[in-house]
Amino acid sequence: MAHQHIQDPPPGDETGRDGAVAPVARSVTPVGGSRVRLTGGLLAAWQRRNREATVPHTLEQLEKAGNLDNLRRLLPQKLAGEGPDTPYRGRYPFLDTDLYKTLEGLAYELARPDDGGRQAMGEFYEETVGLLERVQAPDGYLNSFFQDPACAKDPWEDLAWGHEMYNLGHLVQAAVAAHRQLGDRRLLDVAVRFADLVVERYGPGGEEAVCGHPEVEMALVELYRETGDEKYLTQARLFVDRRGRGTVASRGLGSAYFQDHLPLRELPSVTGHAVRMTYLAAGATDVSQETGDRSLLDALRRLWDDMVATKLYVTGGLGSRHSDEAVGDRYELPSERSYSETCAAIGTMQWAWRMFLATGDARYPDVLERVLYNAFAVGLSADGRAFFYDNPLQRRPDHDQRSGAEEGGEPLRRAWFGCPCCPPNVVRWMAQLADYLVAERDGELLVAGYAQAAVEGTRVALDMATGYPWDGEVRLTVRRAPDRPYRIRLRVPGWADARQVGLSVGGEPVAAAAADGWLTIERIWHAGDELRLSLPMPVRGHVSHPHLDATRGAVAVARGPLVYCLEQQDCPAGVDDVVIGAERVAAARTAAAQEADGLPAGAVLIRMTADVAPPPSPELYPPLTAGPREPAPATGTAELTLVPYFAWGNREPGPMRVWIRGL
């Protein structure tokens, strides 16, 4: 194979390679990169699907859409007139980011010891990195849209919509991944040259401006972490502190869309474009951690708490408005018009993980887990080759689901988009799932997420075996441990009843009370010691806050970290006509999915009986009558089968509900 720059991971690498986030000023240190390996279960299946289906599909679509052609046409011989002249392909100036996000995912995939699909991935990686090296401008600038000689705008002319620093952010993250996972610094050299140009132009004493799309902030902090050069941390802090002065030319959307109407520390609530908001908050969290800025972290805590309490869907989705892909007001959470962009789900998880690393608080991985298994996972089809851009919680019988802004296309998930920000984002996040499970802190290992995995911590190495999220039995077997007492902390998920959680070591029950979301066991561990955690997973129902008008009186069904939904294929009556209450939820049964159901191995379905409501009044707004009102008697019952929300829409189009009518 001709990819001499890509090498297999060194055998017996005791230190391991860092994951996507590697803080210098450590409160909690992530255990990621090569030090956590998924060995089975749902997350490993998702990662395998990513490698075998989503990545090849994405590479094909990027080639077809012209992302690589946009770089090829900038080669010196092309600019000199050799070969056919082709225009820039695509309608957006930030399409290079789709290559960068894909490269970030490829860095992880190429670093794995198995070689499935390695040749095609390696060829794409090599060509793309080579193109970026060759077309980068002498001063470090890199953007295939603005470098086009036919472009009507000059570089840096349109910071609001040009997204040049957003491009830089994704380039840096890809470069850091390539350096950490593959030991390849070519892309890092490209990224450093571009970052240095930005620092020169917009650094201390330079132009006081910010990009219209936050992202570069967390990337610059990671570049500081990788290179040790503090100018990148300084620049990230400047961008965080500058935002909120109304300098972004909004052109009709308003400065709040860009989080530019108030300084971040003064925002009363998360607001504006949901992806921009979460990327900005994630970068600000990185800045607060590395600079020790407690006031900034306090503001981020406040914003997070308000978001979780008033603006996050039961699935973990963020963003209720299609018009500007925005967060929306408090309690503005319509089901059928939920936007909940897949990229916003990834941004929420990025912010959650950074807040966890800054604080050690179990509430943040709680939300990360909810988003992962619901709002994020639903964005990808079962076969890994089609995507949702927006993720509604309800599909009405006459709704023609169209994802993205384009006309036409598939009625459910789509193979690609004119603005394909979500698919490559899925590629990179799936590739690095293992980075967001385990962390360390002075004298303790924190198991924040549960999956079948092999973990090589600094002091403790263990194997984790579990059927999570389908069952709550987790077995951890120690392979290596220090010869002194050491703490292992296990997160008790927020959905679990802490009174029912079981814990044992070597088969002997351990009396340990959960504190702040963690169960802590401290002892001298020996190779072969087995720690068992039991998290009962009864079916449960959720109702919504009384201020949340859209789902008042309805019930959402969940089990463990998974939210479930009802599709018309699994309901003998109309999905809008079945009614459930607490007794029906309490009597629900679980069933193993069959291969014919198209669900992952080990998947659990929920079966329950519902009442069928009588036909409603034909009047849209019937008059209110005085006196006590008795509910109309049910006309019968219906046996329902509920599937995990992430699995909906993989059959023929039809109605769907997360929130089912309540008694």
Please identify every residue annotated as catalytic: 325, 421
Evaluate whether 242 touches 213 at the Cβ level (below 8 Å).
Answer: no
The position carrying tokens 């502190």 is 241
> Residue 81 region, left (φ>0) first, then alpha (ψ -120 to 50), else beta?
left
Q: Which residues, listed in sequence order, are joined to residue 559 by a DSSP beta bridge?
A: 539, 562
Strand-pair partners of 445: 440, 488
- Rounded CA separation 343/329 (Å): 20
Q: How far is CA 43 from the centre of its chain?
A: 13
HSE toward the beta carbon, residue 352, CA cutoff 13 A: 27
Rounded Cα distance, 574 and 439, in Å = 46
Q: Report d(CA 543, CA 582) in Å as an integer.
A: 10
User: Nearest CA to 98 among 136, 139, 145, 133?
Assistant: 145
Written as one string, the DSSP assignment of 557-592 is: EEETTEEEEEEGGG-SS-TTTEEE-HHHHHT-EEEE
- Secondary structure class of 538 (helix, strand, coil): coil
Amino acid present at 127: E
- State how far the Cα of 257 lies from the Cα of 325, in Å rounded to an integer: 9
Nearest to 451 by CA among 11, 3, 32, 37: 37
> Considering only CA atoms, which of 373, 308, 356 is closest in space to residue 537?
373
Residue type, 227: T
Sign of CA dihedral 286, 289, 291, 296: positive
> Are 326 and 273 contacting, i.e. CB atoms less than 8 angstroms apart?
yes
Residue 460 near residue 488, CB atoms below 8 Å: yes
**Which sign, positive or negative, has the C-alpha torsion 427, 278, 29, 497?**
negative
- Cβ atoms 141, 191 nearer than 8 A: no
* 469: preceding bond cis by omega (within 30 degrees): yes
Nearest to 335 by CA among 133, 165, 544: 544
Angle at alpha carbon of residue 491, lines to 447 and 560, rounded to 5°: 115
| Residue type for position 601 | A
Tokens of 171: 């380039």
Residue carrying the six token digits 């894909």: 102
Query: What's at 336, amino acid-wise?
Result: E
SS3 521: strand
- Sequence-ordered strand ranges (E) for 32-130: 36-40
Task: Confirm if 552 and 637 have CB atoms less than 8 A apart.
Answer: no
Q: Residue 502 pairs with which residues in a beta bridge?
A: 534
Sheet holding 486-491, edge to edge: 29-31, 438-441, 444-447, 486-491, 518-523
